[in-house]
Amino acid sequence: MVDADQTFVIVGGGLAGAKAAQTLRSENFSGRVILIGDELDPPYERPPLSKGFLTGEKDRASVFVHEPGWYANHDVELHLGQTVTHLDRAAKTVRLGDGSVIRYDKLLLATGAEPRRLDIPGTDLAGVHHLRRIAHAELLRGTLASLGRENGRLLIAGAGWIGLEVAAAARGYGVEVTIVEPEPTPLHSVLGPQLGSLFTDLHRQHGVTFHFGARLTAITGQDGMVFAATTDDGDEHPAHAVLAAIGAAPRTALAENAGLALAPREEGGGIAVDASLRTSDPDIYAAGDVANAETPHLGHRVRVEHWANALNGGPCAARSMLGQDAAHDRVPYFFSDQYDLGLEYSGHAAPGQYDQVVCRGDVGKREFIAFWLREGRVLAGMNVNVWDVTDPVQRLIRSRVQVDPERLSDPDTPLESLVEGHL
Ligand SMILES: Cc1cc2nc3c(=O)[nH]c(=O)nc-3n(C[C@H](O)[C@H](O)[C@H](O)COP(=O)(O)OP(=O)(O)OC[C@H]3O[C@@H](n4cnc5c(N)ncnc54)[C@H](O)[C@@H]3O)c2cc1C
């Protein structure tokens, strides 16, 4: 039983932090809950920033995790626009940018990730964008609208999920889009070449130009504005704006400076936590993009930069902080929307981990499920324009049962029948 006079502090006002605060209250924690975020807005969801919010279909009010009054109504003390600059584990305090110091009994680090920056000349020009925050999305949306009106060109560095989603949104505004990507296909390290090329075809059909096998080396400007970008193969690409969509890095500085154990970079980096999301300090927890968690059903650590991981990880950390026997053992889950293609991806199949890709359905019509297998066991599954299959796909992954690839690829064989008798 946790004392009512305890103070639980959450650093990071994103989805993981907001959901942790909600769970503390729904589990009847009656002590102080303090949520500190360096953004001015209360916690919001980021997926719409590269989709409906960017296209203008979703308004600002729709992206927030809770109604504005929720925090006060649930006695959650919000400190917005405040950066936690120092964590003192011995004194059990955090220091804020304004110099104030807050003592904690339990602490949750939900500091998320930040976009990687292009380390090339020209990134300070007006018209060079990153996309993580709502303010970034508002700026980019304005840029896309004006480029669309003026036959402008957007150059996107990186054909990952965010680069591709922004490309789709930009085409909706009528913007000319070029994507520069060092790998030979989009999403190469996530999906492999076969499935990656599906996205090449999809975007080409919508008028996007790809420049594969090259990296940006410089962005050149005229009167302080983006004018063109060059790649390491010597090509020059005319551009009026550039989006750097080259991935994100976990925000580990606080944890690192406080001496908490981090996961090695080659294992995804981030703050190392056990399955209950506890760090190497028993009073400090981490959840969401910043956490690299032991995941029992996978049998190894993984850092997941996805919405569902923050949605479920925040509550799991909150329960652990309350002394409950909680474990974060979800199958990683991700979704994306590009033009009329919607997909859900479950599981984890890093490059080199799988030895076979099996598709079920009509790949040409973009209505299928792809499975990544190792020795006949499903590691990951992606349903494209096929819905309500996430549960059986995740059951297959979790079961670790060896499946017959022919039956797996046969749409007339119910997915459920492949695991029956094995769970
Ligand atoms: C444009 C975009 C689109 C996405 N689309 C999808 C999608 O379609 N599907 C999907 O599954 N996932 C998607 N994601 C990923 C998903 O949004 C993230 O996994 C999720 O936001 C992680 O939540 P979090 O709470 O861990 O971190 P964040 O949302 O990053 O929140 C962390 C917060 O902590 C703050 N903070 C950090 N350090 C400090 C400090 N020292 N002091 C105070 N505050 C601090 C940060 O500024 C931030 O506000 C998308 C992400 C982006 C950026």
CB 258 less than 6 A from any atom of ligand 1 = no
Residue ID of nearest Cα to ligand 1 atom 5: 47
Q: What is the pLDDT of residue 350?
A: 83
Q: What is the pLDDT of residue 362?
A: 96
Spatial CA neighbour of 327 closest among 295, 302, 368, 301: 295
CB 169 less than 6 A from any atom of ligand 1 = no
Residue ID of nearest Cα to ligand 1 atom 38: 111
Q: What is the pLDDT of residue 351?
A: 83
**pTM for the whole structure:** 0.97
Q: What is the pLDDT of residue 3?
A: 73
Residue-wise pLDDT tens digits, 230-273: 999 999 999 999 999 999 999 999 999 999 999 999 999 999 99
CA of 109 to the centre of ligand 1 (A): 13
CA of 133 to the centre of ligand 1 (A): 8
Q: What is the pLDDT of residue 4?
A: 80
Question: Which among 111, 165, 260, 311 is the best mutation to test ligand 1's pocket, defined by most ligand atoms within 8 Å of the CB?
Answer: 111
CA of 245 to the centre of ligand 1 (A): 15
Q: Are 122 and 219 in contact (CB under 8 A)?
A: yes
Q: What is the pLDDT of residue 421?
A: 59
Q: Which atom of ligand 1 is nearest to the CA of 291?
A: 26
Mean pLDDT per 10-residue interval, the chain, length 423 residues: 86 98 98 98 98 97 97 98 98 97 98 98 97 98 97 97 98 98 96 93 98 98 95 98 98 98 96 98 98 93 96 98 96 96 95 94 97 97 97 96 96 92 56
Q: What is the pLDDT of residue 419?
A: 87
Q: What is the pLDDT of residue 156?
A: 98
3-state secondary structure the chain: CCCCCCEEEEECCCHHHHHHHHHHHHCCCCCEEEEEECCCCCCECCHHHHCHHHHCCCCHHHHECCCCCHHHHCCEEEEECCCEEEEECCCCEEEECCCCEEECCEEEECCCEEECCCCCCCCCCECEECCCCHHHHHHHHHHHHHHHHCCCEEEEECCCHHHHHHHHHHHHCCCEEEEEECCCCCCHHHHHHHHHHHHHHHHHHCCCEEEECCCEEEEEEECCEEEEEEECCCCEEECCEEEECCCEEECCHHHHHCCCCECCHHHCCCEEECCCCECCCCCEEECHHHEEEEECCCCEEEECCCHHHHHHHHHHHHHHHCCCCCCCCCCCEEEEEECCEEEEEEECCCCCCCCEEEEEEECCCCEEEEEEEECCEEEEEEEECCCCCHHHHHHHHHHCCECCHHHHHCCCCCHHHHHCCCC
CB 344 less than 6 A from any atom of ligand 1 = no
Burial of 145 (0-12, 13-18, 19+ CB in 10 A): middle
Q: Which atom of ligand 1 is nearest to the CA of 131?
A: 1
CA of 29 to the centre of ligand 1 (A): 25
